A and B are shown apart, each in its own frame.
Chain A
C-alpha cells in the first residue's frame, strides 16, 4: 500500500464532486458517494495497516512541493508511523460507521448533498492533519477541520441560534489557533524548519530541558490544543456545538476533531519533554477540566449536552495522561473513547430520531423495551464510559490512572483527582441510562431505527467491549516507560470506584433509596445544582470579563478616535489620488516638461553626490 495519498484524496475528491454538483445530485448518489468514499479510505487504511504490521517502519511520501524559494519549501508530504495509523484507523473506521448511520438519520433532510460534502471534507481535512509531515500542512488540516466544524454546527442555519453556536465555536477556537500560529512562527524562526521530525531533532540538539524557549513554544502549541480539544479555559464552545446534527456531534465533536489537540501534543512529545512545566500544566489543566466537566454533566437535562460535557471530561483524562508522560495511554484512551463516545452519541441520535427530536432526558423514560437497540448500545457505551471492568474504557482509564500515580511530584494528587472524576463519571453516565430507559414512559417513539442505524451501533458496541484488547503499534513512536512496581491498592481502587459510581447512581435514580429531591432541596444542593447546570458559570464569567467590556468599548468608541485613524487613511489616499491625478492633464507639452524636470532632478541628485 504505497499509494496512501489516496486515503485523504478519496474523501476530498468526493467532497469536491458533491460541492460542485450544487445539490443537484440525486439523494441516493450523494449518500452513496459520501459513504463509499470514506469506506474506501477505511479500506486503504486497513491495507496500509496490514502492510505496516508485517513490516513496521516509518513511511514517507512527498506528493508535491509548492515552491522552493530560498530555504522556504512548503511541501505536501505525508508521514506514517504507528501514531498516524491509529489516528487514521479511528478517523476512517468510526467515520465510515457514522457516515452510514447518517444516511438514515439525515435522509429526510433537504440538504443531504451539502451534509455529505461537509462531512467528507471534514474527514479529508482531518486525515491531512494526522498525515502531515510538516507543521504548515498540519495547520492547513487544522484550519480545515475548524472550518468544517463551523459549517456543520451551523448546518441548520435557518435557526439563528445554530449560527450563533457555530460562530462561538469558530471564535473560541480561533483564540487557541492564534496562539498556535505564533508557536509555529517561533519554532520556524528559532529552529529554521517546520518539518515535524527535523524540528524535534533540532530542538533536542539546541535546547536543554527546562529552557525558556521550548516552554514558550510548547505553551503556544498547547494554546491551539486547548482550543481544539475544548479544555479549560477554551472549553465553552463544545456544549453549544451540539446544535449540529447528531452524527456531526458523534464524529467531529466527540470521536475525532476534538482529539486533535491530544494528537498535536503526542506528535510533538519530544518538544514537550523539553518543557516539564508545560507538561505539568497539561496534566493540571486536564484534571481541572475533567472535574469541572464531570460535575457539570451531573446537572444537565439535555441528552446531548450530558454527552458533550462527558466528552470534555474524557479528553481531560487524555490530557492528564499526556501531562504524566504516558503518551501511549493517552492515545489508547483516545481510541477507546472514540468507540464508546461515538456509540453513545449515535444511540442518543437514535433516541432523538425516534422521539420527535426530544432532547430532555426527563421527558423520555421507559425506553428499555421500546428501543432495545438504543438501550443496549447505551448500556454498553455507558459501561465503557464509566470504565466498568472488562470494557474498553476500563483498560485505557486504568492505564492512565496507574501512570499518573507513578508520576513524580504531584502524581498522587492528580491520581486522587482522576479517581474522583471516575466516580463522577459512573454517577452521571448511569443517571442518564436509568432516567432515559427505566421508569415511566413520557414520550412514545414513533419509529424504530433501521439497519443503517443498527449496524453501526452494533459494530461500535463490539468495539467498545473488545477495544481494550487491541495492541496499538505505538512501540517505536513513544519512549518506553519503565513500569514501577504495581501498587495493588491503586489497582483495586481503580476497579472499585466506577462500580461505586454505578451503585450511587442506582440508589439515587433507579432504586430511589435516597431521595434526590431532598438533596436538591437543601441550600447547598440548590446552589451546587445551579452552579453545575451552568457549567460553573464560566460562560457568564467570560461574558462579564471579555464580551461585555469589549462590546462596551466598541459602543463607546463607535464614532470616535479609532475611526478617525481609518478615515485619515482614506482621506490621505483620496488626497494623494487627487493631487497626482491633477498632474495627468492630458497635455503633451506638460508631459514633456515633466520629463525634463524629472531628468533635471535626477541629474542634480547625481551631480550633488559626485561633488
Chain B
C-alpha cells in the first residue's frame, strides 16, 4: 500500500474513521444532535473525498477492491443519500424518547458496506460488503424497539436475508470449486476456457443470481419486500430501497461483466423472464394498496424489473456501453426519487402514534396544509411514473433506448404495460393529496422548519434538474465507462 492507494481508498477510509469516531463519541458524550452532526459530517466528507480519490482512478487497491471512477461516482451518491437520510431521520428517530445515537453509527456502517460493494471485484470483498450492509440494516430496521412492526420486519429480513446470503455463498463455493479463483476477472478467464454447458457452473451462477436477486426483491423472491418496507422506520426504508438495492445491483452487474457471465445464455434468458414477472407482479400488487409504504415496496419490485432489462441488452457486446450508461443514470435518478418519497413519508409520519403505518388518508389534503412537502411527493411520484422533465422520464427513456437497441421487444412491451398500470396507483396518491381536507386526519402536524424546507426544496430541484438538464451527468457517465 502506498500513498496513491490510500488516496484512492479515501472515501472508505473516511467512512471507517468516522464510524470509529462516532462510536467513541457515543461512549463519552451522548446526544442525538451531536451524533447526527458527526454522521452528516462523515458522510459529506466521504462524498467530497471521492473527488480526490478519482484522481487515482482506476486503481486496483489490494486484490479485493477496484476504485474506478464508476465506483467512486456511486460512493459519492450513496454517501449523499445517506447524509440526506440522517438529516431527515432526526425528528423521526428521537421522537419516542429512545436513545438513538447508535442509529447514526449503523447508518454510516451500512453506507460503508454499500461503498465496498460497488468497488468490489473479488468475491471476498463482495461478501464482506454485503454482510456489512445487511447486518447493519437488520439493526436499523429493528431500531425503534418499542413497537411490534419494526421487530417483526427485522426478524423477517434477518431470516430471509440470511437464507439468501447462504445461497449466494454456496454459489460462490461452487464457482471456486470449478475454477479455483475468486477474483472477478480471473473467474472470467477461467470460465472462457471451459465449456458453457457445465451443470455445476450453471448451478453456481443461478444460485448467486438468486441470492442477490433476493436483495433487490425480484419475483419469486419478493414476498418479504412489503412487510419489511412497511415495518421499518420510514427513513431506513428509504435507505434500504435506494442505496442497498443500487449497491447490490451494481455489484451483480460488475460480476456479470467482468466474469462475462453473459455467455451463459440460459441465465440471461431466465433473467429476462424474471424481469417480466417482476414488472407485472410488482405493478399489479401495488394497484389497490392503501398503505403508501407497501405501495412503494411493490412498485420497487417493478422498478427493479425495469432495471433488469439492462442484463438482456448486455448480451450483445456492442450494446454494453449504452446499457451500463442507462443503468447508472437510472439508479441515480431512482435513488434521488426514492429518497425524496420516503423522506416525505418520514416527515409526515414522524410524530404519529402508529408512525410505521402511512396510509393514503395521512397525505389527504397535503396540498392545502403543506404545499412544499406536497410538491416534494408530487415530483417524486411523477418521477416514478416517468413524466417528462423529471428524472424518472430520462431514466426510463434511457432504458427504452437501450432495449430498442438490443431489440428486446417482449421486455419493452412488459415495461410499457407495467408503466401503464403504475400511472393509476401513483396518480391515486396525488389525487388524495389534492383533496380538500375534511377533518384533520393526521394526528400531529408534520415536521416543519427551515432545514426541512431547504432539504425538500433541494430534493425537488435535484429531481427536476436530472430531468431537464441530464446532459452533464450523462456525459460524465459516458466518459468514465
Q: Indicate, yes or no, whether A interacts with B.
A: yes
Instruction: Give the interface of A toward B (CB within 8 A).
Output: 64-70, 72, 573-574, 576-577, 580-581, 583-584, 586, 588, 590-592, 594-595, 597-599, 601-603, 605-607, 609-611
A599 touches B266 (CB 8 A): no
Once the chains bind, are A609 and B401 in contact (CB under 8 Å)? no
Given contacts A606-B267, A606-B270, contact A591 B285 (CB under 8 A): no
Q: Contact at B288–A584, with CB atoms within 8 Å?
A: no
Which chain B positions have C-beta within 8 A of A65? 471
Point out the residues of chain B lying under 8 angstroms from A605, CB to CB. Answer: 266, 270
Contact flags (1/0) for B390-407 with A, using CB distance below 8 Å?
000010011001000100
Q: Which DSSP category, helix, strand, loop or mixed, fits chain A's interface?
A: helix
CB-based contact A67/B284 at 8 Å: no
Interfacial chain B residues near A603, Cβ < 8 Å: 203, 206-207
Would you call B226 and A580 a contact (CB within 8 A)? no
The interface stretch among B181-189, B216-224, B253-261, B373-381 is B216-224
- A599 contacts B167, CB within 8 Å? yes
Cβ-based interface call for B190 (8 A) = no
Q: Which applies to chain B's interface (DSSP): helix, strand, loop or mixed?
A: helix
Measured CB to CB, the closest approach of chain B to A128, in angstroms, equals 16
Q: Does B281 contact A (CB under 8 A)?
A: yes
Q: Provide the residues of chain B in CB contact with A576, threshold 8 Å.
A: 280, 284
Compute how far the CA of A64 lies from the CA of B470 in the bound complex, rounded to whole angstroms.
11
Tell me whether A598 and B210 are in contact (CB under 8 A).
yes
Considering only residues 128-162 of chain B, those with a C-beta below 8 Å from chain A are: 155-156, 159-160
Given the known interface contacts A67-B474, A602-B210, the answer about A595 and B270 at a Cβ–Cβ threshold of 8 Å is: no
Please state if B266 and A70 are interface contacts (CB–CB under 8 Å): no
Q: How far is it, in angstroms, between the C-alpha of A611 and the C-alpha of B155 when the chains are bound?
A: 39
Contact residues in A for B470 (Cβ distance below 8 Å):
66-67
Contact of B288 among A574, A583, A588, A595 (CB under 8 A): A574
Q: List 8 A-B contacts (CB under 8 A).
A: A67-B394, A574-B287, A577-B285, A592-B163, A595-B220, A598-B210, A610-B198, A610-B202
Taking a contact as CB atoms under 8 Å apart, the answer to whether A595 and B163 are in contact is yes
Extra pairs beyond A66-B468, A603-B203 (18, CB < 8 Å): A66-B470, A67-B474, A69-B322, A70-B405, A573-B421, A580-B285, A581-B285, A584-B285, A588-B155, A591-B160, A595-B223, A599-B167, A602-B209, A602-B210, A605-B266, A606-B267, A607-B202, A610-B202
Q: Known contacts being A598-B220, A609-B202, is A68 close to B471, with CB within 8 Å?
A: yes
CB-based contact A69/B474 at 8 Å: yes
B227 within 8 A of A: yes
Please measure, in the bound complex, the distance between the C-alpha atom of A577 and the C-alpha atom of B470, giving whole angstroms. Answer: 35
> B164 near A: Cβ within 8 Å?
yes
Inter-chain contact B287/A599, CB cutoff 8 Å: no
In this complex, how many residues of chain B approach chain A with their Cβ under 8 Å: the count is: 46
Beta-carbon contact of A588 and B159 below 8 Å: yes
* Of the residues A68, A584, A594, A606, contact of B226 by C-beta under 8 Å: A584
CB of B214 within 8 Å of the partner chain: yes
A191 to chain B, nearest CB (A): 18
How many angstroms between the C-alpha atoms of A93 and B72 in the bound complex? Answer: 55
The reply on B449 being an interface residue by CB < 8 A is no
Q: What's the nearest-Cβ distance from chain B to residue A457, in Å? A: 42
* Complex Cα gap A70–B469 (Å): 17
Contact between A72 and B287 (Cβ–Cβ < 8 Å)?
A: no
Q: How far is the CA of A64 from the CA of B472 in the complex (A)?
A: 11
Q: Name A608's closest neighbour in chain B (CB-CB).
A: B266
B159 engages A592 (CB within 8 Å):
yes
Give chain B interface residues in 246-266, CB to chain A under 8 Å: 266
Q: Which residue of A lies closest to B322 (CB)?
A: A70
Closest to B211 in A: A599
Contact partners of A597 in chain B: CB under 8 A:
220
| B97 located at the interface, meaning its Cβ lies under 8 Å from any Cβ of chain A in the complex | no
Residue in A577, A588, A611 whose CB lies within 8 Å of B287:
A577
Contact present for B224 and A591 (CB under 8 Å): yes
Min Cβ gap B375→A in Å is 15
Q: Which residue, of B285, B288, B469, has the highest number of chain A Cβ atoms within 10 A?
A: B285
- Which A residues are in CB contact (< 8 Å) with B468? 66
Contact present for B197 and A610 (CB under 8 Å): yes
Question: Which chain A residues border B267 with CB–CB below 8 Å?
Answer: 606
Q: Which residues of chain B are near A594, meaning CB under 8 Å?
A: 220-221, 223
Query: In the bound complex, how far is the Cα of B285 from the Cα of A131, in angstroms?
Result: 48
Say whether A66 contacts B471, CB under 8 Å.
Answer: yes
Residues of B close to A577: CB separation below 8 A: 284-285, 287-288
Provide the residues of chain A in CB contact with B280, threshold 8 Å: 576
